Structure 1
Amino acid sequence: MRFGVSIPNYGAAVSAESLTAWAQGSERLGFDLAMVTDHLAQPEDVRRAYPEDFYECFAALTFLAAVTSTIELGTSVAVIPLRNPVHTARALATIDQLSGGRVIVGIGVGGNEQEYRALDLGFVRRGAMTDEYLRVITRLWGGGNVSFAGEFVTFDDLLATPTPSRPGGPPIWVGGSARPALRRAIAHHGTWHPVFPTLDGIDAGARQAAEMADAAGKPVPGIAPRIRLSISATPVPETGRPLGVGSVEQITTDLHALAARDVEAIVFDPVHHPFFPDAPPSRTGDVDEREWGTIEHLAAEIIDATKGTVRG
């Protein structure tokens, strides 16, 4: 099992120095993955959750590639319809080449209508746009001269450069828990990447994915959830407790439960997001340090990231 860290590319404390500290620290502790998240516009609805600086995810990944050497770098998740797919394909292929093949492409459809409106994009058709954009992106990753005629994208005789470092392109992780997300993961030989799921949700999604993959005659997608990380000195009540929240013993139990389900990776998110009940009003430097301290605590007492194992 591989372990990753969700690196905050947003907040009052975000800077070149903070990104470097989180990425290099994660690499030093033996984590396999460093993931950033995505909002391309910050209208009122987005500002309710993220009212401070928010670095563009592909630019942040480029920076992280330059300050690290071994850790894989990805998005959790990039909202695919917000960008022209020709741009997305080239940006990610460029980062993959510059990083030596270390990119993971976590994708989603997004759920904020105001953000779509700000970019003059249709919100209702975002699922269909995502499907078509993924076809464009993966075709361009194959290189050569490419033409495409679709409902949302049409172009003729584009030279697809650069090609990604990894043949066929970077791995695709599909966020979301609805049936279309599972279908996309299966269609693109990808990984299902539920964000803040419950164990019951993972079990239900895994069963549905297995049925859908069998019907399509394709491999069952792997599972790589992103879960919260909040370590308390004493146990918290089990009723309604999210995965990754509680005492060392409770979180260890969570991780053993995920390992028993053969998840291929776990991405830990220590940020107390504004939509959580215990969130601070601002991601200041002090908050940033406390959240990073939670990652160090995780590595010291709960997991051995260098071996991909859970302690206890």
Structure 2
Amino acid sequence: MRLGLVTPIVTRVPRAHSPWEAAAGPAELVRVAMAADKLGYEHLTCSEHIAIPVDMAAARGGTYWDPLSTFGFLAGQTDRIRFLTHVLVLGYHHPLEIAKRYGTLDRISNGRLTLGLGVGSLREEFDLLDAPFDERGARADDALRALRAAWGTAIPHYDGEYYRFDALVVDPQPSQQRVPLWIGGRTRRSLRRAVELGDGWAPFGLARHQLRELLDSVKLPTGFDVVLPAPPLDPAADPDAVVRTLASLADAGATVVNVALRAGSVEEYVQQLHTLAGLAGPAVGRP
């Protein structure tokens, strides 16, 4: 089981972030990223929303740094840590747009991209972008197939239900031979989508029995990742609770855990990274 970080600062959801993050900026973000990189954490996350309606921001939050810009900046400040979009909404983009922009990110980061992808649920944002909201699940499946077709050859061909392209050059290509695709969602269909078209599943908002029922309903491919969130952890104040939480997530089937940390400042956050690395051992430290 590997530990990735729910990156502070870049996404602020009410009741899920610490007050210090509101005044933090690129300098504090770099401190966190460089510390996590040196300690061997698996990845940093960044989510995607273009614009949140004011009446929904109280629940969803309104601060969402752009993942492509953020990760492009952090790629130059780090050496090993991976970059996970958690998640990029498929319906907001043409597959070739994702292929070009994130293929370039994978190239400049020397193969450190993990692409987390989701179907999306905020109709108002779809409408803002003139993106079809209906049939978005079927469109997402087609987009995933098209994205796979777009990577691996500079002149890709694809002829699907919603997307078609041919005789076009898409260059640069990613550094990785196969960029991992982790599919977000909380439904049986999202898990099937992940098993059939992706490399991992990143569920949210599921009770333990619901998660177990879904995972038991399918045969997971070899090397398939199950990416589970941890509640906010406080390694300094309650290390035993942290160890129990991580063990419980491993028992639930997690191969990767997305960790959020309690802290009152960037200095305390970095110290928490060190403390958690000491507790988690091989889950964090990679050769």
- Pairwise same-fold verdict (TM > 0.5): yes
1:177 is the counterpart of 2:180: no
- Alpha-carbon contact 1:229-1:294 (below 8 Å) kept: no
**Partner Cα separation in structure 2 for residue 233 and residue 104 of structure 1:** 30
**Partner Cα separation in structure 1 for residue 268 and residue 38 of structure 2:** 14
Aligned to 1:129: 139
2:104 is matched with which residue: 88, 94, 109?
94
**Partner Cα separation in structure 2 for residue 51 and residue 133 of structure 1:** 27
Q: State the identity as a percent.
A: 26
Partner amino acid for 1:28?
K
- Alpha-carbon contact 2:150-2:157 (below 8 Å) kept: no
Q: Cα 1:28–1:302, aligned 2, differ >3 Å: closer, same or farther?
A: closer
**Partner Cα separation in structure 1 for residue 121 and residue 104 of structure 2:** 27
1:7 is the counterpart of 2:16: no
Aligned to 2:195: 186
Partner amino acid for 2:244?
T
For residue 125 of structure 1, report the CA deviation from its aligned partner: 1.6
- Alpha-carbon contact 2:157-2:167 (below 8 Å) kept: yes
Q: Which blocks of at least 5 consecutive residues in structure 2 are unaligned?
A: 13-21
Q: TM-score, normalised by structure 2?
A: 0.84
- Alpha-carbon contact 1:40-1:82 (below 8 Å) kept: no
Aligned to 1:222: 225
Render the CA deviation track for 1:31-68: whole Å, top value 9, x for unaligned. 12111111122223552345554321112111111111
2:265 is matched with which residue: 280, 289, 292?
289
Aligned to 2:208: 199
2:260 is matched with which residue: 250, 265, 269?
269
Partner amino acid for 1:307?
P
For residue 222 of structure 1, report the CA deviation from its aligned partner: 2.6
Equivalence map 1:112-127=2 (5 Å): 112-127=122-137
Aligned to 1:41: 51
Alignment root-mean-square deviation, CA: 2.8
1:231 is matched with which residue: 231, 234, 248?
234
